[in-house]
Amino acid sequence: MKKKQKLLLWLSDNSIFFLLSIILVLAALVGKSFYTKANLMLLLKETSLYGIIAIGITFVLLLGFTDMSIGPQVSMFSVIAILASQRFGLASMVLSCVLLSIISGLLNGLLVSKVHVVPFITTLGTMTVFKGIALILAGGKPIASSLLTVYDIYTYELLGVPISIVVFLIFLIIAAYLLYFTKFGLQVYACGGNLESAKAAGINTDRITIICYLLSAFCASCAGAFYASRMGVGSPVLGDNYTLPVIASCVIGGIRSTGGKGNFVKTFCGVLFMQIIYNLMAMSGFDAYTQYFVIGVVILGVLFLDKYTEKVQKINLAQE
Amino acid sequence: MKKFLALVLSFILLLSLLASCSGKGETPVTKNSSSTVAAKDGKKTIAYITPDSRSPFPVKYSSAWKEECSKRDWEAVILDGAGDAAKQLSLIESLVAQKVDMICVTPIDSTAIGSGLKIAYDAGIPTMTVNADCDEAFHKYTIGYIGTPNFTFGYRSGECMAEALGNKPDKNIIICSLHDGFQASMDIVDGFKQAIKDKCGNVNYLDEQPGKSDKAISQALMEDWIVKYGDKIDAVFGADDTVAVGCINALKANNMLGKVIVVGAGGDGDGLPAIKNGEMYGTTYQSAAAEVSLVFENIELYFAGKPLQKEEEWKMELPIITKDNVDGYEPAY
């Protein structure tokens, strides 16, 4: 393989680290209050909430599938969290969401694995179902909690660290352990690499698919409960704009859309990178339209680099 | 194993770094306390968080904001909530980190904004809600609310509609609101419904859907409603003139314009020509520039250590515009 191609491949594999380094330098030059304690803490809290969702969806993306229903699931669980807290108390906020996430995860998992509808289309359908459920439960508008203690979950700190950050880091470690050190992780990569070959090798691909969608739903439920506690409100439209940025974070982090490639360190870096961009754009007063454009350009750039290096790899393999 | 160990050690390092980052807030702000007015030398920075720059009114509001800041040689920081209540919370925290002199916000959700207002309050930065208020429980964290009373704004449009309907009951009305879950939109619709109830008595609301301040979306909704309800429709209320005109386009295409009464809200560049052409019965005029001017009058009062104006002192009219007086008005935005 030529030197240039080797460099390109290496760059593509580690592009997120370069992007992160560049943006951190840019932040020092452009963001006047970026490197303040308050802003860095805010950045990490934002990263943790998106990151919790991203951890779940990473499992699905590694399979080569997708989950377009992730945003509406977050909305639905935020509504469920508030309703549960009003009926059964604060402790039920997270528990109710986690238990009900089994249903949403199973629905997606079974439809994709057993009915064999393309995951993109399947989850577009379930996206509408979950959004409908959220709107019905909330009566079409955000519901405020009557509990004054509803904010306590989000504002709780463990040894001075916000709980959302602690939970995110714990999830990250557990997810990384599952992926690197268990048979399940190997099977996820195998299914993502080539589903038919994995099946032929004796892997129960249906079971792996269902588990990945369950993990995705579980993470969405935790994020929904956190958002509900943060705002004191369950909103049926909260997660409408979360699906694409979360998936984009994973793709920027190096999770290949066709599956079989990526890891959680890169997911974390991808989420952090996106949040830094949002943070900088917000601090610079960019309106929503400009933010969409910038994020779109970044995603296209990363996808182009990924596809180009994939093509180069295939050519090299053919030559060898 | 090495990678996993590296991850765990990084986690421990990060946790210890974060633990050292936490800290308590500064002296909380009190209403109209001159001792808390940060008498800084140099330019004041007045931040405004819009609800959603995809709607025309917030865009006009932001332009007026910049003009008012420029007149006073203050720095304007305008951030976009992009229709996301959680994002508005993040933006407040971001502005607190930037240590601006004041944060003004049009809340997307009157309750969700509460925790953000508290954060600013604990950090010693005064906040004011504008154009839409926060929940009463959070008033203690703000210096006050200045803005169009959206309920009254909707009520005025309701009065206009009632006049058009001859104050008669049992009419079939469709409502094309703005965005899902947007507090100002809900207040406008509530005000409209109250006025109809007061003037007409019982009416039938055939349907209510958000037009999202988008002509194409509201036109598509109206076309669906025409298919579903047909000649039953007596009147349509658009919670802003843009969605009202979207509905008018659909009614025109189905030759129903003369039979259905349309009333809007806002008095924008779409609404006033529609009234002149006889396509829309009327609207309520809402001047973004006038409201922003009032906001800044009160910001000056706050920095001077004086109490804010009471609602009855606000010089903000909400005139009803119909064909009789439309020529006397320029588009509000």
Alpha helices in B165-279 (DSSP H): 183-200, 215-229, 241-253, 271-276
Q: Does the fold of domain B150-285 match that of domain B43-148+289-313?
A: yes
Q: Which of A42, A162, A173 sits opposite B94 (nearest CB)?
A: A42
Residues B84, B72 contacting (CB under 8 angstroms): no
Distance in Å, alpha carbon of B36 to nearest chain A alpha carbon: 21
Distance in Å, alpha carbon of A306 to nearest chain B alpha carbon: 24
Q: What percent of chain B has pLDDT over 90?
A: 64
pLDDT in tens, B316-331: 778 999 999 999 888 8
Please write down the long-range contacts of A164-170, taking CB distance under 8 Å and 24 or more positions apart: A164/A45, A164/A48, A164/A49, A164/A52, A164/A226, A165/A44, A165/A45, A165/A48, A165/B18, A166/B15, A167/A48, A167/A52, A167/A222, A167/A226, A168/A47, A168/A48, A168/A49, A168/A51, A168/A52, A168/A55, A169/A48, A169/B11, A169/B14, A169/B15
Weakest mean pLDDT among A106-110, B8-12, B131-135, B242-246:
B8-12
Q: pLDDT averaged over chain B?
A: 86
Per-residue pLDDT, averaged over B220-243, amounts to 94
Distance in Å, alpha carbon of B102 to nearest chain A alpha carbon: 15
Helix (H) / strand (E) element for B161: namely helix B150-164
CB contact under 8 A, B15 and A157: no
Is A244 in the B-facing interface, judged by CB distances under 8 Å?
Answer: no
**Domain residue ranges of chain B, discontinuous segments joined by +:** 43-148+289-313, 150-285
User: Which of B55, B52, B51 lies closest to B213, judged by CA?
Assistant: B55
Cα separation of B231 and B227, whole Å?
Answer: 9
- Is B211's pLDDT higher than 60? yes
3-state DSSP call for residue A233?
strand
3-state DSSP call for residue B154?
helix
Distance in Å, alpha carbon of A65 to nearest chain B alpha carbon: 26
Residues A68, A243 contacting (CB under 8 angstroms): yes
Residue A241 sits at the vertex; the CA angle it makes with A236 and A247, to the nearest 5 degrees, is 125
Q: pLDDT averaged over chain A?
A: 88
Per-residue pLDDT, averaged over A162-167, amounts to 94
In words, the CATH class of domain B150-285 is alpha beta
- Is A60's pLDDT higher than 70? yes
Q: Please spell the DSSP secondary structure of A74-104, one letter per residue.
A: HHHHHHHHHHHHHHH-TTHHHHHHHHHHHHH
Please give the CATH number for the structural domain made up of B43-148+289-313: 3.40.50.2300
Q: Which of B7, B53, B98 sits opposite A287 (nearest CB)?
A: B53
Q: Which of B23, B114, B115 sits opposite A37 (nearest CB)?
A: B23
Cα separation of B290 and A124, whole Å?
Answer: 44
Q: Which residues pair with B48 in a beta bridge?
A: B78, B104
Measured between alpha carbons, how far is residue B61 from residues A285, B128, B288, B290 in Å?
15, 15, 5, 10
Is A149 in the B-facing interface, judged by CB distances under 8 Å?
Answer: no
pLDDT in tens, A222-258: 999 999 999 999 999 888 888 988 998 998 888 887 8
State the pTM of this model. Answer: 0.80
Weakest mean pLDDT among A12-16, A274-278, B96-100, B120-124:
A12-16
Q: Which of A159, A231, A285 sits opposite B89 (nearest CB)?
A: A231
Is A285 in the B-facing interface, judged by CB distances under 8 Å?
Answer: yes
Instruction: Please tell me which residue of chain B has the smallest CA distance to A44.
Output: B18
Please give the CATH number for the structural domain made up of A3-315: 1.10.3470
